[in-house]
Amino acid sequence: MMNKGQRSMPSSSKTTLPPLITILVLGFLSIVAFGDNNYGPTNPLLYCSDDFADQLQARKFNVSGCKKLRTLDAEFAWNYSNLTTTNNSTNTTTVNGTLIEIFFRAKLRNYEGWVAWGVNPGKKPQMVGTKAIIAIKHNKGTTDVHTYDVTKETRKGCRLWPTSASEFGLNVLDMQAWSNSTKQCTTLYAKLILPFPEYNITRLNHVWQVGDNVNGDQPLQHRVTLQNVDSTETINITSPDGQSYGQNRSFLRSVHGVLNIIGWGTLLPIGVIIARYFRVFPFIWDKVWFNIHVGFQLTGFLIGTAGWAIGLSLGRSSEYYTFHTHRTFGILIFTFSTIQMLAFRLKPKITDDYRKYWNMYHHFLGYGLLAIIVINIFKGISMLKGGVGWKWAYIGIIAFLGAIILTFEVVTWLRFMLKLPAISIPPKENKTSNNPTQNKQ
């Protein structure tokens, strides 16, 4: 029985129809998404590319985890099992190590080259100290696999020769490699035992690399780019997606780039534009132009200095690699910018005899600084290799500022050639008096 004012309930066919349609749609989508996948949504192969997953399935490799590595277009898959011993008297189980099988695949730039994967028992993932397994592809199409112990001498340029099993320090049960000439991919397979606690599989330091040149069984120096330098991480192989830790360097590099593009590469040029076109000619923004000019320059200097400091920190954290040209230009930019900032306090008066020399130094140093800034920003973008987005974003900023400069230059020369006075901002009003004898412009 219904109370007064209570609406009647809609029919059951109307209430069940929308939920029924929703269930059918969700069921159809789940069939489309996972119907052809025998593993379900938790399949570790879903974290790798389809091509790599097909290769693993063709090899009938039982995958515990898989992931696309963040550099060198490399992919990594693994399977592991703990090696334990049981004490029957105390009924306790002790983990002695981990039996791990790995598949590592990367692309070669040439028909000859090498791919490497290894683990580092040290405190952090780095090349020096790595126990590496390297697959060398020769021009004839043959592929050899050897173990190598990477030391500080290797970093200094000493030759890297294969290490014997007794000296390698790890029990490697199997090593294989094969190449796909069509896609120029080389895949490395290895089966080895990682002793515990030297190697903790929840925080395993692993390293990968790709090189272009070989000399017999000797892999020659790889390229020194950020892609190569950043080919390390600490990984948790107990998770199917290979959770990684401590990858803050890539984030800091992005922050470093953004701050420098905004500070050095955008705000400083805007400050120069203000001083160039609003001080005397073609526009006169009396007194205000100086405050705006100083504001842009000071803000750009502070933001750029923050980015520069992050860059120095990143340089110190890279123990074995230094990008000398980018670092030198960065130091020059900071030094010249600091001199320009001090110039605001040390500027002589207009009546001083050497004011014209100060103006010449301030202008030429400023224009030279802008040239170094643009060159170094593009240098940093080319090192980052984070995609064309960075490059085209800064090209867009330069094009926008260039269009403004070109417009102001055209206005400047037209007014100069036509002998027109500068435009006052705001426009000066012509005050006239009611008394004709006092009527002045």
User: What is the phi/psi pair of residue 104, to 5°?
Assistant: -130, 130
- 256 and 178, same domain (yes or no): no
427 in any annotated domain: no
Pairing of strands 283-284, 423-424: parallel
- 262 and 284, same domain (yes or no): yes
- 320 and 387, same domain (yes or no): yes
Q: Which residue has the tokens 């039982």?
A: 62
Q: What is the pLDDT of residue 335?
A: 93
Structure token digits, residue 296: 């842009």
Q: What is the pLDDT of residue 320?
A: 60
Domain span at residue 288? 248-418
pTM of the model as a whole: 0.66
441 in any annotated domain: no
- 221 and 324, same domain (yes or no): no
Residue 374: which residues within 8 A CB-CB, separation 6 or more?
Answer: 265, 398
340: helix, strand or coil: helix
Q: How many domains does the chain have?
A: 2
Annotated binding-site residue? 256: yes
Annotated binding-site residue? 324: no
Amino acid at 246: G
* 223-233 CB burial, b ≥16 within 10 A, e <16: eebbbbbbbbb
407 in any annotated domain: yes
Structure token digits, residue 201: 């599989």
Annotate 165-190 with DSSP letters as a single string.
HHHH-SEEEEEEEEEETTTTEEEEEE
Which CATH number does the domain housing residue 229 bear? 2.60.40
Residue 259: which residues within 8 A CB-CB, separation 6 or more?
Answer: 303, 304, 306, 307, 310
Residue 51: which residues within 8 A CB-CB, separation 6 or more?
Answer: 183
Q: What is the pLDDT of residue 120?
A: 93
Annotate 11-47 with DSSP letters as a single string.
PHHHHHHHHHHHHHHHHHHHHHHHTT-SS-TT-GGGG
390 in any annotated domain: yes
| Gyration radius from the chain CA atoms | 33
Q: Name the H helices within 174-287.
A: 226-229, 248-262, 268-278
- 349 and 279, same domain (yes or no): yes
Tell me the Ramachandran region of residue 242: left when phi exceeds 0, alpha when psi lies from -120 to 50, beta otherwise.
Answer: left
Pick from 176, 160, 164, 166: nearest CA to 216: 160
- 96 and 150, same domain (yes or no): yes
- 410 and 370, same domain (yes or no): yes
Annotated binding-site residue? 362: yes
24 in any annotated domain: no
432 in any annotated domain: no
- 208 and 266, same domain (yes or no): no
- 209 and 326, same domain (yes or no): no
- 78 and 211, same domain (yes or no): yes
Which of these three, 195, 211, 245, is where a domain ends?
Answer: 245
137: enclosing H helix or E strand = strand 131-137
User: What is the phi/psi pair of residue 424, to 5°?
Assistant: -90, 135
List per-residue pLDDT tens for the chain, 441 residues long: 444 444 444 444 444 434 544 444 444 344 334 444 444 446 888 888 888 888 888 888 888 899 999 888 899 999 999 887 777 677 676 778 899 999 999 999 888 899 999 999 988 888 888 999 999 998 887 889 999 999 888 877 788 889 988 888 899 999 999 887 667 889 999 999 999 889 999 999 999 999 999 998 899 888 878 788 888 999 999 998 888 886 677 788 889 999 999 999 999 999 998 888 887 666 666 778 888 888 999 999 999 999 999 998 888 776 666 788 898 999 999 999 998 888 777 777 777 777 788 888 888 888 899 999 999 999 888 877 656 778 888 999 999 999 999 988 888 888 778 777 666 666 555 544 444 444 433
- 60 and 193, same domain (yes or no): yes
67: helix, strand or coil: strand
- 287 and 386, same domain (yes or no): yes
